[in-house]
Amino acid sequence: MRVLGIETSCDETGIAIYDDKQGLLSHTLYSQVKLHADYGGVVPELASRDHVRKIIPLVRQALSDASMEIGQLDGIAYTKGPGLIGALLVGACVGRALAFSWDKPAIGVHHMEGHLLAPMLEDDAPDFPFLALLVSGGHSMLVAVEGIGRYEVLGESLDDAAGEAFDKTAKLMGLDYPGGPRLSKLAAKGKAGCYRFPRPMTDRPGLDFSFSGLKTFTANTIASEPNDAQTRANIAYAFEEAIVDTLAIKCRRALKQTGYTRLVVAGGVSANTRLQISLAEMMKKEAGKVYYPRGEFCTDNGAMIAYAGLQRLKAGQVDDLAVKGQPRWPLDSLPPIS
């Protein structure tokens, strides 16, 4: 079975074709970073318009790269939610229209399920069950995964997600958009032990996350300290260290709670080098293993949507002709695949 995947949940247009026997046949991605840089963040209307301009050329490119004709496709998968409603509707309209005109079945995919299953694109894919840490600009959550669609959300963001906290703190420090990777680059020049920032909600039971207070603490530190390059790097180091430690502490708790020995980490923040090192060390001590998608599949991409959609299409799940986008969509409301 071969499925075309379409990802348009935010500011990246991702198209891919996945084959259940041959694996990933092609994938292409267009990032809108330059478009939104002048505004310091994503402008939803501009994002939607750019998806409209780029999506069909990218579909043609994905088919060409895979040396495929339309008739060789068996289905279409598109991101249905969560995300920016305008951006979601672009992908949903195009995906639904292509499926209708090509007489192919179509399925709307949950964006976070795509991230959760992204490590399955690798040769060293994890077996079920496992614990998933999903960390991105819009979400931070811990999920017990027994199978596809068999999800229990153990903890999630109560306010700012980890990636959102990175971006907002980077903006406070005057770093250009996208701020998260730039803050991490600055933190690499910082010195350990200069500052000690709080590890939010680690002094109480539970697995939920809250990073808005850490962002405020960092903002107050920036305002009260000298504005030289080394001080800024030291503050960035302490902030990143606090985020990574908090995520690691919560993961350790969740592993003990579930008894799992496999940890999947996905979403844009999963590409953070310090987080990867910290979780690798933790899992070594826990006699477990951590799994990541490759760097290009940590952020939003069409490959993860094609893979997730293929699993559901193979199970006989098909959406009707209605074009729908769900900007809010609980992950644990998805139907299981037996």
Which of these, 50, 19, 15, lies nearest to 36 by C-alpha position?
Answer: 50
- pLDDT value at 219 more than 80: yes
pLDDT for 140: 95
pTM of the model: 0.95
- Find out whether 272 is annotated in a ligand binding site: yes
- Find out whether 136 is annotated in a ligand binding site: yes
User: DSSP secondary structure string, 59-89?
Assistant: HHHHHHHTT--GGG--EEEEEEESS-HHHHH
pLDDT tier at 24, thresholds 50, 70, 90: very high
Four-point Cα dihedral 44, 174, 181, 253, nearest 10: -90
Q: How far is CA 217 from the centre of its chain?
A: 26
Model confidence pLDDT, tens digit, residues 36-83 = 999 989 999 999 999 999 999 999 999 999 999 999 999 999 999 999
List the 75-81 sheet strands across, edge first: 23-31, 12-19, 2-7, 75-81, 106-110
How many C-beta neighbours within 10 Å does residue 25 have?
Answer: 21
For range 280-300, the mean pLDDT = 95
For range 244-265, the mean pLDDT = 97
For range 265-277, the mean pLDDT = 95
Which of these, 220, 172, 163, lies nearest to 197 by C-alpha position?
Answer: 220
pLDDT tier at 137, thresholds 50, 70, 90: confident
Query: Which tokens hold the place of 305?
Result: 């949507």
- Find out whether 123 is annotated in a ligand binding site: no
- Find out whether 288 is annotated in a ligand binding site: no
- pLDDT value at 213 more than 80: yes
For range 144-160, the mean pLDDT = 97
Longest alpha-carbon distance in the chain: 63
Which of these, 88, 96, 2, 94, lies nearest to 56 by C-alpha position?
Answer: 94
- Find out whether 138 is annotated in a ligand binding site: yes
For range 278-288, the mean pLDDT = 95
Query: Which tokens hold the place of 197?
Result: 């920032």
- Find out whether 137 is annotated in a ligand binding site: yes
- Find out whether 300 is annotated in a ligand binding site: yes
- Find out whether 75 is annotated in a ligand binding site: no
pLDDT for 167: 93
pLDDT for 177: 87
- Find out whether 81 is annotated in a ligand binding site: no
Kindly report the average pLDDT of the chain as a whole number.
96
Query: Which tokens hold the place of 332?
Result: 């644990």
- Find out whether 91 is annotated in a ligand binding site: no
Distance of alpha carbon 230 from alpha carbon 326, whole angstroms: 44
How many C-beta neighbours within 10 Å does residue 293 have?
Answer: 25
Query: Which tokens hold the place of 114?
Result: 């795509």
pLDDT tier at 138, thresholds 50, 70, 90: confident
For range 254-283, the mean pLDDT = 96
- Find out whether 51 is annotated in a ligand binding site: no
Phi then psi for residue 297, to 5 deg, are -105, 5
Distance of alpha carbon 331 from alpha carbon 266, whole angstroms: 15
